[in-house]
Structure 1
């Protein structure tokens, strides 16, 4: 399984995201893989999160190739940085991109997130 596939599987199992308790919206991720495009529709209802493979209309649609999404969900880049580089495109409500970033790898309970203590030398002086 790729990082992106693992991310959406875990997100679907999570069920509720407290950081999004004030959000009711839908975000579709269109993941290009060669000539094929995989869809993940994330519906958020006051923090309750569901994930499907529907290619349905959404309030915000994020489009990138699989490698870019792997980097985003793996914490190696941010969705905003990808947007600025032109490797991620967005249709719809731009504010939802900022809110959707709350779902990604910078969460402290994500094992793939960078260890900031080790990046700072791991010292508690």
Structure 2
């Protein structure tokens, strides 16, 4: 298993995140249950940035789940929507903010954005065409 949700949130980069929509702003509180206690993580999202604090303050969306559920989401092993459908997490508030977790959490190790994969494929295709043209071959 990769990192825990706690490890990930403690070291979350607060810089600009172009994968977050510019027009979305809100607050999320993650209530992480473990061994009969609950840890509270408070995420403030604005201007494509995420600020993390430890707080039980009210938020636009409160997400409650066991630690193992959050750990799997952080590591890209569980989609938040799937966890909701399986009743592995509970929500209170603005449900539209739930999908931001998918963008905030890192995903599986080695994962790449589809656009990046497409750009690499196009560059490889162009490179192979140039090599074929320089050898006088036709595609």
Is TM > 0.5 for Structure 1 vs Structure 2?
yes
Partner of 2:60: 59
Structure 1 residue 15 and structure 2 residue 25: aligned? no
1: CA distance between counterparts of 2:16 and 2:40?
21
Secondary structure at the residue paired with 2:19? helix
What's the RMSD between the two structures over aligned residues?
A: 2.3
Aligned residue among 75, 99, 112 for 2:109? 112
Most deviating of 80-89 and 20-29: 20-29
Q: CA deviation at 1:113?
A: 5.0
For the pair shown, the structure with the greater C-alpha radius of gyration is 2
Number of residues of Structure 1 aligned to a counterpart in Structure 2: 112
Distance in 2, Cα, partners of 1:113 & 1:63: 28
Looking at structure 1, the residues matched to 58 and 46 of structure 2 have their Cα atoms a distance apart, in angstroms, of: 16
Secondary structure, aligned partner of 1:8: helix
Q: Which runs of 5 or more structure 1 residues have no equivalent in the other structure?
A: 116-123
Cα offset, 1:100, TM superposition? 2.5
Tell me the distance in 2 between the aligned counterparts of 1:114 and 1:19.
14
TM superposition score normalised by structure 1: 0.79
Runs of 4+ displaced beyond 6 Å: none
- Unaligned 5+ runs, structure 2: 113-123, 125-139
| Residue-by-residue CA offset, 1:65-104 (whole Å, 9 max, x unaligned) | 0011000101111111110000111110111001222112
Q: Does residue 36 of structure 1 match 2:14?
A: no
- Corresponding residue number in structure 1 for 2:101: 100
